[in-house]
Amino acid sequence: MSRSPRYSPPKAYAKFKKMNADEINNFIDNWPAHALGRTFASSQIAVADGRLRVLTEAETKLNVLRQQVKGLETKLSVMKEEKTELKFLMEKLKNEMAKLEELRRTEADGRKLGIISQNQLQMQLSDMRQSFKDSMRPSESNDDPVKLKIALQYVKLTT
């Protein structure tokens, strides 16, 4: 924004150069709200390099937006860190789940093998009991020695 060469700032500006920030704020609080066509409630006053600077509403909003962007960038970086931490934790939990699943399978297989082994032993015990009962019964076959001798001679002759 260029100004005409004849422009010279009012003498009041020279007074601002000598004031500190608190004095400037006190001075501005005494101004009417309609001064210079805008309210100071929506503007900010800053002193930079010993000079008074009134920020317009657009500049104020721009500064606020810049701060919001910085805040959002830090929030984004925090969320990215949380994301990597959660990925690491998720991978760790997946590995633990795989180990637990393998252990469960091993135990289930062992339980099944135990049941099969128990069933085989029960069948062997049942067979042994049955054979013991059979051996204790009186023989129903004819164990007559004469008949056995005749049967032996008959077998010898036929072969």
Give the residue numbers spanning the domain of 133.
58-138
Q: Are 98 and 28 in the same domain?
A: no
Q: Are 72 and 105 in the same domain?
A: yes
Q: Are 117 and 66 in the same domain?
A: yes
Q: Are 62 and 134 in the same domain?
A: yes
Q: Are 133 and 65 in the same domain?
A: yes
pLDDT at 59: 74
Q: Are 41 and 90 in the same domain?
A: no
Tens digit of pLDDT for each residue in 118-150? 999 999 999 999 988 877 776 655 577 888 888
**b or e along 103-136 (b: 16 or more beta carbons within 10 Å of the residue's beta carbon)?**
eeeeeeeeeeeeeeeeeeeeeeeeeeeeeeeeee
Q: Are 47 and 102 in the same domain?
A: no
Q: Are 77 and 127 in the same domain?
A: yes
**Could you tell me if residue 149 is inside a domain?**
no
pLDDT at 82: 97
Residue 45 or residue 60, greater confidence: 60
Q: Are 67 and 132 in the same domain?
A: yes
pLDDT at 41: 45
Tens digit of pLDDT for each residue in 46-99? 555 555 556 566 777 888 899 999 999 999 999 999 999 999 999 999 999 999
Tens digit of pLDDT for each residue in 9-42? 556 555 656 666 677 667 666 655 545 444 444 4
pLDDT at 38: 46
pLDDT at 134: 78
pLDDT at 151: 85
* Cβ within 8 Å of residue 17, ≥6 positions away: 50, 51, 52
Tens digit of pLDDT for each residue in 109-120? 999 999 999 999
Q: Are 48 and 71 in the same domain?
A: no
Q: Are 21 and 69 in the same domain?
A: no
Q: Count of domains in the chain?
A: 2
Q: Are 65 and 98 in the same domain?
A: yes
What tokens does 145 get? 């020695």
